[in-house]
Structure 1
Amino acid sequence: SLSLSLCLRPPLQMMTSTPVSSSSPLSLSASRHFSPSPSVFSFSCATFGCVLAAPGPILSARRLGKMIGRARIHLKGWQQAAVAVGSALGALMDPKRADLIAALGETTGRPAFERVLGRMRKSPEGREILLEQPRVISEKVSHAWDLPENTFGAAYAKFMGSRNFSPDDRPPVRFMETEDLAYVAMRAREVHDFWHVLFSLPTNLLGESALKVVEFEQMLLPMCMLSVFGGSARFSEKQRTLFFQHYFPWAVRAGLSCTDLMCIYYEKHFHENLEDVRQKWGIIPCPDPKLVARQM
């Protein structure tokens, strides 16, 4: 039998200058927050021997199919389970490991991504997204910085710029079986920052955990609920009270009341007024955390 040494090393493009607290929750968006850890999580398993290293940088939209075909790794059922368990344990031990977090989301999320893909195929805007396969990368969204202040695009540019985030800092999808599912998983990863803007959520522990609740309501991804559990375990007593009395009920309501977030071609709405698109999509912005905290 062969022994497995599974080494999921963070790619170089995931390094950012933005510091982050070690208390950050597990998140699909983790790559833009975390610098790679020097530690490498590894384990052994019979009859499956390979080294999984993160591939090179994310490519442009027209080369997406080639990128996915080269990056994708086909696993048997038990191999997916091994990667999922190993990734979960590694991510709990080191929340900075964005590669492990991404692997966990992919290996546990296939049924959820299949449902999302089905909904997108039934939606006119969703079908357009699947046909054109837009990428949220600097090359495609840089024009947002030139839009009027009250627009959705300008709000997104301000959100990214004020945090020194880059839309290019995303790990590639590796464990989806088809290119369509791989694209849906990548799309969910890349539009995460749009949701921060629309729901007016910060990128701290409370904000990320609340957005994971919204994402779970929308996609039923197991990884989202695991992220909430992982984040809440790191809450202070005051944060825990604030989250479960205010953020959690708001997030459940917001996730259920808005339109299907995966069927929106966000890039084509950059020029529209931020409040107008919120109203059009049924978005309920998160209450101001400072005002909520004063009421505690």
Structure 2
Amino acid sequence: MIGSARVRLSGWQQAAVALGSAVGALVDPRRADLIAALGETTGKLAFEKVLERMKRSQEGKAILLERPRIISANVGHAWDLPENTFGAAYAKFMGSRNFSPDDRPPVRFLDTEELAYVAMRAREVHDFWHTLFDLPANLLGESALKVIEFQQMHLPMCFMSVIGGSARFNSKQRSLFFEHYLPWALRAGMNCTDLMCIYYERHFDEDLDVVRRKWGIIPAPPLAAKV
């Protein structure tokens, strides 16, 4: 659960956790728990601003009131939806990569239930954004999505992830990212609606192209899957 594992930290303890998580994530970018800890210990102000935006949005307020969780028990019906729908596209993305919506680490280092939920929601909608922007879950795709996430939420962790990801690019990836994906991601992040204020689960049965147009989503250039 969101609140069961939470730990209250002093200022210096937060700084220590942030530094240790940043170093650990650079050494092993697969450590989702370290990336999550870095996001929480450096992102309180950013999450507070997201929370305020959600409170001013009709769908955002509904999300905060109902606090839906993106877990298998709640989104499993997406696998049964027609192929053209947003929900089916999400299910295809998850199934083709053998991902589970239940694999997200809990929120531990934010001190209110509301902020903890916003952080958890941001973590859980990540795969929806992969689906909507048509980005693969490889190094190039994740780095491009972090640019959009930074524009949407202004989380320092997202900026640091882009820096860390680009440092691991080979020459071909570096060229593709800076010539194609970075300009696209900057444009896509500015043009789309406030993605944290969408109650995605209510739109599963809608046509994927329709929701992309409705939310101002510009799909990624079709090169990342080849790298």
Q: Which TM-score band (shorter chain)?
A: over 0.9
Given the two structures, how large is their TM-score scaled by the length of structure 2? 0.97
Query: Which one-letter code corresponds to 2:106 in the other structure?
Result: P
Q: Find out whether 1:71 has 2:38 as its counterpart.
A: no
Q: Find out whether 1:248 has 2:196 as its counterpart.
A: no
Q: 1:76 to 1:160 in 2, by over 3 A?
A: same
Q: Find out whether 1:202 has 2:164 as its counterpart.
A: no
Write 1 or 2 for the structure with the bigger share of helix: 2
1:214 to 132, 143, 148: 148
- What CA distance in whole angstroms lies between the structure 2 residues aligned with 1:166 and 1:247? 27
Q: 1:291 to 1:89 in 2, by over 3 A?
A: closer
- What CA distance in whole angstroms lies between the structure 1 residues aligned with 2:164 and 2:49? 25
The alpha-carbon deviation at position 189 of structure 1 amounts to 0.4
Query: Which one-letter code corresponds to 2:57 in the other structure?
Result: S
Moved more, 125-134 or 74-83: 74-83
Aligned partner of residue 116 in structure 2, secondary structure: helix
Corresponding residue number in structure 1 for 2:171: 237
- What CA distance in whole angstroms lies between the structure 2 residues aligned with 1:244 and 1:96? 23
Aligned partner of residue 61 in structure 2, secondary structure: helix
Corresponding residue number in structure 2 for 1:261: 195
Aligned partner of residue 70 in structure 1, secondary structure: coil
2:96 to 156, 162, 167: 162
- Cα deviations by residue, 1:23-58 (Å, 9 ceiling, x for unpaired): xxxxxxxxxxxxxxxxxxxxxxxxxxxxxxxxxxxx
- Cα deviations by residue, 1:218-276 (Å, 9 ceiling, x for unpaired): 00000001110110001011110110000000000000000000000000000000000
Percent identical among aligned pairs is 76
Gaps of 5+ in 2: none
Q: 1:248 to 1:139 in 2, by over 3 A?
A: same
- What CA distance in whole angstroms lies between the structure 2 residues aligned with 1:261 and 1:69? 24
1:106 to 31, 40, 49: 40
The alpha-carbon deviation at position 291 of structure 1 amounts to 10
- What CA distance in whole angstroms lies between the structure 2 residues aligned with 1:103 and 1:256? 27
- What CA distance in whole angstroms lies between the structure 1 residues aligned with 2:132 and 2:4? 34
* Larger relative contact order, structure 1 or 2 (CA cutoff 8 Å, min sep 6): 2
- Cα deviations by residue, 1:193-238 (Å, 9 ceiling, x for unpaired): 0000000001111100000000001000000011101100010111
Q: 1:291 to 1:99 in 2, by over 3 A?
A: closer
The alpha-carbon deviation at position 94 of structure 1 amounts to 2.0
Aligned partner of residue 102 in structure 2, secondary structure: coil
The alpha-carbon deviation at position 121 of structure 1 amounts to 0.3
The alpha-carbon deviation at position 92 of structure 1 amounts to 1.4
Corresponding residue number in structure 2 for 1:123: 57
Query: Which one-letter code corresponds to 1:187 in the other structure?
Result: R
The alpha-carbon deviation at position 78 of structure 1 amounts to 1.0
Aligned partner of residue 103 in structure 2, secondary structure: coil
Query: Which one-letter code corresponds to 1:263 in the other structure?
Result: C
Corresponding residue number in structure 2 for 1:30: none
The alpha-carbon deviation at position 186 of structure 1 amounts to 0.3
Query: Which one-letter code corresponds to 1:237 in the other structure?
Result: S
The alpha-carbon deviation at position 69 of structure 1 amounts to 3.4
Gaps of 5+ in 1: 1-66
Larger radius of gyration: 1
| Contact 2:3-2:108 at 8 Å conserved across structures | no
- What CA distance in whole angstroms lies between the structure 2 residues aligned with 1:168 and 1:274? 23
User: Following superposition, which runs of at least 4 residues in structure 1 exceed 6 angstroms of deviation?
Assistant: 290-293
- What CA distance in whole angstroms lies between the structure 2 residues aligned with 1:121 and 1:72? 23
The alpha-carbon deviation at position 290 of structure 1 amounts to 6.8
Q: 1:228 to 1:143 in 2, by over 3 A?
A: same
- What CA distance in whole angstroms lies between the structure 2 residues aligned with 1:136 and 1:168? 8
2:74 to 123, 126, 140: 140
Query: Which one-letter code corresponds to 1:205 in the other structure?
Result: L
Q: Find out whether 1:193 has 2:127 as its counterpart.
A: yes
The two structures, once aligned, show a CA RMSD in angstroms of 1.4
